[in-house]
Amino acid sequence: MKSLLKILRDFPAYLWSGWGALASIFLFIAAWEIGNQVYGDLILPSPLETFQTLGALFGDSEFIENLMITLKRAMVGFGVSLVLGTALGLLAGFFVTASIVSRPIVTILMGMPPIAWIVLAMIWFGMGDATVEFTVIVASLPIVFVGALQGTRTLEDKFEEMADIFKVPKMMKFFDIYLPHIFSYVFPAWVAALGMAWKIVVMAELLATSDGLGAALAMARSQLDTATALAIVVAMVGLLMVAEYIFLEPIKREVEKWRD
């Protein structure tokens, strides 16, 4: 609770520090404009046209519906990864054997390209929600798992020893010694997994479904509607940036403030 208030209190200062980031984004848009002047509207529509199309899209109920479908799939996949990955990672971390056994499996899972999973999922689950959600889970769960595993494995005995001298009760030991340490590993993993989920969901939709942002993107491609395609991309990137920099980054800063 106290840290939540602290996050809110620091928020304006944090936003103020965003001018530099904003400037570099505008620089990027300027380069985009040059690209448009060189290659023409069909290859690279101008930023202005793209943002106008984006505005129009947000007034379009079909697009909003697609957006919601995609959001739902991403959240389901990410949610399952978060809960399951954290729980399994912690469990594996507390047992040496489990962590030794699980490591190679996780390496395989992480090394496998998501596109391969999509193909398999299409065969297993057909075209629809399950395929997309499965792919998202398979791609983002290992990230969370490794974060939780690492957090638990790196717990230091010396703090435990110190706590034992003070006869610290079990609950307090968990909240004051284990949790802050583990959380500082798990939270960044959650953020990385969210980014991964968001990228994978669109890719899976593009190949395996007839609705959602990915499908809308596929449609725009087949109609050679570059402006719409770019507008969708901008919407996707924009949403992720808002989630990451408005919500997650301030929390991360508060949580990791004590780190070197």
Partner 1 sequence: MARLKVENLSFSFGYETILDDISFEVNEGEVVSIVGPSGGGKTTLLRLCAGLLDRQEGKIENSFETQSIAFQDPRLLPWKNTLDNISFGLKALGVPTKERDARAREIALQFDLEESDLTKFPKELSGGMSQRVSFARALVTKPKLLFLDEPFSALDIGLKRELQDHVMRLIDKKEITIFFITHDIMEAIRLSDKILLLAPDPGHIVKIFEFDKPQAERNDEYVYAETAKILSDREIIETFELELK
User: Which chain residues interact with partner 1 by CB under 8 A?
Assistant: 158-159, 161-169, 172, 176-177, 180-181, 184, 257-260
CB-wise, 9 or 167, nearer to partner 1?
167
CB-wise, 59 or 260, nearer to partner 1?
260
Instruction: State the nearest-atom distance from the C-beta of 7 to partner 1, in Å.
Output: 16
Burial 221-246 (b: 16+ CB within 10 A, else e): eeeeebbbbbbbbbbbeebbeeeeee
CB-wise, 153 or 199, nearer to partner 1?
153
Secondary structure element (H or E) that encloses residue 102, with its range: helix 96-111
Instruction: State the nearest-atom distance from the C-beta of 13 to partner 1, in Å.
Output: 17
d(CA 121, CA 178) in angstroms, rounded, equals: 37
Instruction: State the nearest-atom distance from the C-beta of 160 to partner 1, in Å.
Output: 10
Instruction: State the nearest-atom distance from the C-beta of 148 to partner 1, in Å.
Output: 17
Instruction: State the nearest-atom distance from the C-beta of 257 to partner 1, in Å.
Output: 7
Residue type, 198: W
CB-wise, 181 or 252, nearer to partner 1?
181
To the nearest 10 degrees (0 to 180), the angle between helices 61-94 and 129-153 is 30
CB-wise, 62 or 164, nearer to partner 1?
164
Contacts 24+ apart (CB under 8 A), 60-68: 63/216, 65/211, 66/211, 66/212, 66/213, 66/215, 66/216, 67/213, 67/235
Instruction: State the nearest-atom distance from the C-beta of 154 to partner 1, in Å.
Output: 12
Instruction: State the nearest-atom distance from the C-beta of 169 to partner 1, in Å.
Output: 7
d(CA 214, CA 203) in angstroms, rounded, equals: 6
CB-wise, 13 or 259, nearer to partner 1?
259
Supply 83's token pair: 């809960």
CB-wise, 19 or 258, nearer to partner 1?
258
d(CA 252, CA 238) in angstroms, rounded, equals: 20
Supply 141's token pair: 């769960």
| Residue 94: HSE in the Cβ half-sphere, 13 Å Cα cutoff | 7
d(CA 156, CA 28) in angstroms, rounded, equals: 44
Instruction: State the nearest-atom distance from the C-beta of 16 to partner 1, in Å.
Output: 22
Place of tokens 């047992």: 95
CB-wise, 60 or 164, nearer to partner 1?
164
Q: For the chain, what is the largest distance between any 2 Cα atoms, rounded to a whole number of angstroms?
A: 72
